[in-house]
Homo-oligomer: A and B are copies of this chain.
Amino acid sequence: MAAFHPLVASRVHLSPLLPAAAGPAAAVAAGLSFHRRRFSAIVAAATAPTATEFDFKAYMGERAVAVNQALDAAIPAGEPPAALHDAMRYALLAGGKRVRPALCLASCVVVGGREAWAMAPAAAVEMVHTMSLVHDDLPCMDDDDLRRGKPTCHVVYGEPIAVLAGDALLSLSFGHMASMDSYPPDVDPEKHPARVVRGIGELARCIGSEGLVAGQVVDLEMTGSTETVPLDRLEYIHLHKTAALLEASVVIGAIIGGGSDEQIERLRKYARSIGLLFQVVDDILDVTKSSEELGKTAGKDLASDKTTYPKLLGLEKSREFAEKLLCDAKEQLADFDKEKAAPLLYLANYIAYRQN
């Protein structure tokens, strides 16, 4: 297992987020003493102009309503084949915090685009997210019965329909992004198609053997193994299984919004940090919260002896690592317009400090 190098193995160039030279815990501690000092200053600088004006809860609530409307309109209720459409709608409209769509919309705005341009990609990334949950929950995979506080798709509709609903959601995500009907009439007719093509390339890349699926494959391999997962491999899993789609959500928003290559790459770095942050926090929550609070089976990772950040680093060091990632993410926002960057800043905070 020593020959496994996730960042060599990956065909995406994901730069390492965790300094690995002196062993994980030491590296985190070393990185943190510096990052700690910058932490307050960065947060203060980025939030100061809008701290009292920006209502994050209202922002997220309004986006969730709009995204849910787009998702609802994208899949006809009751039309045949009814079982398929019902299963797709069941999985897709089960609530959820719509973090990925919000990232996509906020990223479009921060580079100067209109939020409405990114509504179709925002819906698309949520379809992809849902599809990955439906397939990962299958009996032959993670065999999960509970998701977002409800029975999983295959429990309600059976395994064949769950597989097919996932496939249909995946193809719909691309179809939705490609359809001109999904966009408002004021998109630039000259530049829009090339932006959509580039965005679809990002979406495709974050799903397959360089993204979600790769992460799930290595995750499954680790689950069946008795050896302890080394930190670099845990990071590989999370960068692919979680961070890749968060990265695509942000990057696609920036592309559709007409961002420059330099802006897009800065936002990509932001997204990678919050992507790994998301998973570190998820691991922490799994150890510290009940199923009821989480809306899914808690303690599952420990019960199945799954390697997590708390297991490898301990709870305290995991929290410190999360803080470092939050700092890194916020640094990338420093050169954007403060007001327009507020949602991305608050989204990073939310991902770091959420309770479920």
Residue numbers of A with Cβ under 8 A of B are 4, 9, 11, 75-76, 79-81, 83-85, 88, 131, 135, 138, 140-141, 158-161, 163-164, 166-172, 174-176, 178-180, 193-194, 196-198, 200-201, 203-205, 207-209, 211-214, 216-218, 220-221
Contact = CB atoms under 8 A, between A and B. Distances in A.
Contact of A172 (B81, B131, B209): B209
Contact of A75 (B168, B209, B216): B209
Given A81-B217, A179-B201, A209 B168 contact: yes
A296 B103 CA distance: 47
Nearest to A6: B80
Given A175-B204, A208-B171, A11 B79 contact: yes
Contacts of A194: 193
Contacts of A11: 76, 79
Most buried by B among A9, A80, A170, A211: A80
Contact of A207 (B135, B168, B180, B204): B168
A342 to B, nearest CB: 32
Contacts of A208: 167-169, 171-172, 175
12 contacts: A11-B76, A85-B209, A135-B164, A168-B209, A171-B205, A172-B204, A172-B208, A174-B204, A176-B204, A178-B204, A179-B201, A200-B200
A141 B168 contact: no
A163 to B, nearest CB: 6
A77 to B, nearest CB: 12
Contacts of A75: 209
Contacts of A214: 80-81, 84, 168
Q: Which 6 A-B pairs have the closest CB atoms?
A: A175-B204, A171-B207, A168-B208, A193-B193, A9-B80, A193-B194
A164 B207 contact: no
A221 B179 CA distance: 30
B205 A175 contact: yes
